[in-house]
């Protein structure tokens, strides 16, 4: 058996036979700005699994619609005119969605260790006093705001286990 076949077999083994179950549960359904979020991260592992770390992260992602006006150059203007696309001006408005992380806080829960059986870890995050409320649809301000807690089990030489849970932040 050559080295590439052995490498594929070992990746297959790591992926299918070291499956761990990672889950997050929150202490409440919704939070207000400034509240403390208590999350319980459960790791269920049937076989011993060596991991580099277990970490959790609270993130706020802001996605917004942005309109920009672009000046059409002469070539684009003539081409669109030939295709019978009517323009009342040499300007074109484009709408695009941009996404960026507005807040991020990470905590390491456990360092390098072996996981076996079911273990629960508790981690707490405090929302900023001026935390923006969760918004799932583009409203009058053209933004969507989502808060999430993400947990990551860093496994060497294999795919990391990741899980996330939505945190609902109430507005005024």
The predicted-structure confidence for 41-61, as pLDDT tens digits, reads as follows 999 999 999 999 999 999 999
Q: What DSSP designation does 129 have?
A: T
Name the phi and psi angles at 91, rounded to 5: -105, 145
Q: What DSSP designation does 135 have?
A: B
In a domain, residue 75? The reply is no
CB atoms within 10 A of CB 58: 22
On whether the CB atoms of residues 23 and 41 are closer than 8 A, the answer is yes
pLDDT for 86-115, tens place per residue? 766 677 788 888 999 999 999 999 999 999
Mean pLDDT (whole number) for 160-167: 95
pLDDT for 104-148, tens place per residue? 999 999 999 999 999 999 999 999 999 999 987 777 788 899 999
Domain span holding position 15: 3-65+97-169
User: pTM above 0.75?
Assistant: no
In a domain, residue 71? The reply is no
The CATH number of residue 143's host domain is: 2.60.40.640
Number of domains observed in the structure of the chain: 1
| pLDDT averaged over every residue in the chain | 85
């Amino acid at each position: 058996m050559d080295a590439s076949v052995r490498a594929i077999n070992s990746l297959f083994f790591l992926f299918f036979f070291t499956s761990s179950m990672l889950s997050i549960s929150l202490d409440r359904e919704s939070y207000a700005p400034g509240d403390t979020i208590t999350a319980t991260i459960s790791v269920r592992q049937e076989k011993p699994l060596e991991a580099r770390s277990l970490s959790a992260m609270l993130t706020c992602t802001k996605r917004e619609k942005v309109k920009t006006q672009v000046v059409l150059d002469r070539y684009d203007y003539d081409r669109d005119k030939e295709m019978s696309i009517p323009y009342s001006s040499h300007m074109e408005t484009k709408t695009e969605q941009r996404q960026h992380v507005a807040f991020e806080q990470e905590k390491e829960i456990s360092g390098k260790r072996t996981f076996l059986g079911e273990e629960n870890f508790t981690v707490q995050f405090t929302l900023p006093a001026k935390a923006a409320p969760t918004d799932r649809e583009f409203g009058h301000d053209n933004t969507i705001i989502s808060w999430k807690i993400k947990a990551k089990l860093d496994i060497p030489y294999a795919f990391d286990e990741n899980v996330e849970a939505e945190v609902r932040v109430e507005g005024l």
